[in-house]
Amino acid sequence: MRDARFTYSANISIMFAEHPLLERPAAAAEAGFTEVELWWPFRQPVAEPSEVAALVSAIEQAGVVLTGLNFWAGDMIGGERGVASRPDRAAELRANAAQLVEIADATGCRLFNLLYGQRDARWSPATQDAAALDAIRSAAALVEPLGGTVLLEPLASGLNGDYPLVDPAQIRALLQSSLAEIPNVRLLFDVFHIGSNGIDIVSSAAEFAPWIGHVQIADSPGRGEPGSGSLPIEKALDTLVAVGYTGRVACEYQPSTPTTAASLGWIRRIG
């Protein structure tokens, strides 16, 4: 799926949800997408080999490319948003990372979102930040031989528990200080989360362009397709073009239409 400026990928964890997961790559291909991305798609940090094989096969048979994959983020349905900052979950995340690399080897995926994790009163913020930085460094070292990039994402306040990263400026600060020596860690610029926090997504697109490794879009309020809310997404995309962003743009929204395919008219409108 393209317009004159971008290749659009479909996040099939949230899009094409009218189909079972293993049917979503084919549904995305039928709608015109050549690339897809996923949150960690299994209920456990390490899935059964047969589950992984079935997913890889579904992607291959659909003729799409997996371009983005999240590390295990805990019980997302139950409200967790990452485990990187949890000192007691380090072994779990390492085991997940090993399987993530296996999937990357099989699919060619090279972008990997590592959610930071929510604050937990059992540890001090400093202890949790140290655990998160260790996890980020380990993840970056693991995917570096693949040419992979670890993405760090600010999330919307009020929707994701006590998640400490809510502004792209916080990610930039990490990339300029504690993570400055690691070139394959970048900002995930998600206009839904950033815009939901009252941050101007147009000026931010220019300000943070040097640190952006990936872009995701959904409108706010509602997290629907562009045009269903009030965010100036088209202007933000224009700004990204103007500052030289050449990466893909991932559609990560909940369609307001009965089917995902019916929600895609916005691409023709803004292209």
Catalytic residues: 153, 252
The token pair that represents 36 in the structure block: 């897809």
SS3 content of the chain, % helix, strand, coil (to 5): 40, 15, 45
Q: How far is CA 17 from CA 144, 146, 259, in A?
A: 32, 30, 9
Q: What are phi and psi of 211, to 5 degrees?
A: -110, 0
> CA–CA separation, 237 vs 7, rounded Å?
12
Contact 34, 7 (CB under 8 A): yes
> CA–CA separation, 13 vs 23, rounded Å?
12
Contact 239, 205 (CB under 8 A): yes
Who contacts 17 (Cβ-Cβ below 8 Å, separation ≥6)?
A: 24, 254, 260
The token pair that represents 205 in the structure block: 């697109």
